[in-house]
Amino acid sequence: MQLKNLYLRQFRCYPEQSFDFRDGLNIITGPNGAGKTTILEAIHLLSLTRSFRTHNDRHLIARGSKNYLVRGKLDDPPNHFSVQNAFSSDGSRQISIDGATLKAKKELLGRFPVVIMVPEDLELAQGPDGLRRAFIDRVLAVSDTKYLNALLKFRRILKQRNAALRQAGGSQPSQITVWDPSFAECAQSIWQKRAQFFREFSPIFHQAWTQQRPDIPATLEYLPAEYDDSDAIQAALQASLDLDFQTQRTNVGPQRDKIKFFINANLLRYYGSQGEQKLFIVTLKLAEARYLENKLGTAPVLLLDDLLATLDNGRSQDVIHELAANYQTIVSTTTTTGMRLNAGAKNGTNQIHLQAQGEICPA
């Protein structure tokens, strides 16, 4: 998959602008506030229907405007197509492929896959399990429609069950248990899909890691609750009901899964240096790209925001140049000083330099 052109209209600090990209490594440079990250944000929006910086699309509309439009022209030989996302301040949205409007946002997932790396991804190593669950959910949602449907249904049921726990006040358990059969069905499906994912993903990660650091082992560990069937899940929900009333939330289910990262048999978050944590996350993203390519049959586009903040050593740069040798890679940085721009890049490097905008783009 290759993004050939990106067109923005009234999107953040861009009244109207078009950018051309090519295969291999594309470097976007410019001062802070010039709009580098905004370009990556727009590409992410075309792929996953949302920004990676805000949940409020009204924040993406240029000041003084009432709508934005983002369009991308893509090549996935032998296919060529365009994706467009248009949003208005009244909340209306239209997503289309080659002019045909999609009925639901989820129809776009997997059509134009991207893998994004941002400095905040370091929280995957340092932060709580919920961030790692979100990472797994996103990869699976893009690559497995059945998982996406089960996850969306599960989240609705969990929200309704938790709302019932808050409202019932411990006096009406039937208002809670009515959700348990459908909760258990979705939970079982999610657990099975996640377990299958780790069986397939872990060897891909292991191969990518050993190419970089064969001297230090690194592993992923998935620790779900284990139940034989849907009836066992419902029994666990029943047994946890008193605790659920006390905490006013559901304490059994995939929303409680633990995912751990280890380096040299120790927890990465506690015993990994910052350089090792960064390399671990970059390698995780490389494994994500390979996994998506295997599942979708097309190579994702790689997006790397704020290169110098994300990478700080030669090993990590080696990973990036491996990405650029196999995937279209688009990175933003304030400077290319000290970078090996052409190492491993197909057809050299395409550089896009941005000047300071009259209106500062958000950092």
Q: Identify whether residues 10 and 122 lie together within a single domain.
A: no
How many domains, in total, are found in the chain? 2
Q: Is the peptide bond before 31 cis (omega within 30 degrees of 0)?
A: no
Mean pLDDT of the chain: 91
Q: Identify whether residues 304 and 339 lie together within a single domain.
A: yes
In single-letter form, the type of residue at position 43 comes to I
State what percent of residues in the chain have pLDDT above 70. 91
User: Which region among 252-256, 314-318, 324-328, 329-333 has the lowest average model confidence (pLDDT)?
Assistant: 314-318
Q: Identify whether residues 191 and 266 lie together within a single domain.
A: yes
Q: 224 is in which domain, residue-wise?
A: 114-294
Specify the pTM.
Answer: 0.92
Confidence of residue 135 (pLDDT cuts 50, 70, 90): very high
3 state SS of 161: helix
Predicted local confidence at residue 311, as pLDDT: 65
CA distance 31 to 333: 9
Q: Identify whether residues 287 and 314 lie together within a single domain.
A: no
Look at residue 363 and tell me whether its pLDDT is greater than 60: no
Q: Identify whether residues 4 and 67 lie together within a single domain.
A: yes
CA distance 198 to 133: 12
Closest alpha carbon to 321 in 299, 297, 304? 304
Cβ atoms within 10 A of the Cβ of 115, count?
A: 27
CA distance 188 to 225: 10
Q: Identify whether residues 33 and 67 lie together within a single domain.
A: yes
Predicted local confidence at residue 93, as pLDDT: 96
With DSSP H G I counted as helix, E B as strand and the rest as coil, what are the percentages for the chain, rounded to 5?
Answer: 45, 25, 30
Q: Which residues pair with 219 in a beta bridge?
A: 262
Residue whose structure tokens are 């990556």: 40
Look at residue 18 and tell me whether its pLDDT is greater than 90: yes
3 state SS of 203: helix
Extract the tokens encoding 57.
């699309």
- Residues listed for the chain: 363
Q: Identify whether residues 103 and 129 lie together within a single domain.
A: no
Last residue of some domain: 294, 309, 332?
A: 294
pLDDT in tens, 174-210: 889 999 999 999 999 999 999 999 999 999 999 999 9
Q: Identify whether residues 285 and 202 lie together within a single domain.
A: yes
In single-letter form, the type of residue at position 149 comes to N
For helices 145-168 and 180-212, what crossing angle results, to 10°? 130
pLDDT in tens, 99-123: 999 999 999 999 999 999 998 999 9
Q: Identify whether residues 264 and 124 lie together within a single domain.
A: yes
Look at residue 313 and tell me whether its pLDDT is greater than 60: no
Confidence of residue 322 (pLDDT cuts 50, 70, 90): confident
Confidence of residue 168 (pLDDT cuts 50, 70, 90): confident
Last residue of some domain: 294, 313, 333?
A: 294
CATH of the domain at 251: 1.20.1050.90
CA distance 286 to 280: 10
Look at residue 344 and tell me whether its pLDDT is greater than 60: no
pLDDT in tens, 50-80: 999 999 999 999 999 999 999 999 999 889 9
Q: Identify whether residues 211 and 198 lie together within a single domain.
A: yes
3 state SS of 115: strand
Cβ atoms within 10 A of the Cβ of 18, count?
A: 12
Predicted local confidence at residue 250, as pLDDT: 97
Predicted local confidence at residue 357, as pLDDT: 66
Predicted local confidence at residue 350, as pLDDT: 87
Q: Is the peptide bond before 78 cis (omega within 30 degrees of 0)?
A: yes
Confidence of residue 308 (pLDDT cuts 50, 70, 90): low
Closest alpha carbon to 293 in 113, 136, 148, 117? 113
Look at residue 338 and tell me whether its pLDDT is greater than 80: no
Task: Give yes or no for a contact between 279 and 260, defined as CB atoms under 8 angstroms apart.
Answer: no
pLDDT in tens, 123-134: 999 999 999 999
Look at residue 310 and tell me whether its pLDDT is greater than 70: no
Last residue of some domain: 294, 317, 337?
A: 294
CA distance 42 to 105: 16
Q: Identify whether residues 326 and 182 lie together within a single domain.
A: no
Q: Identify whether residues 267 and 330 lie together within a single domain.
A: no
Closest alpha carbon to 75 in 172, 19, 1? 1
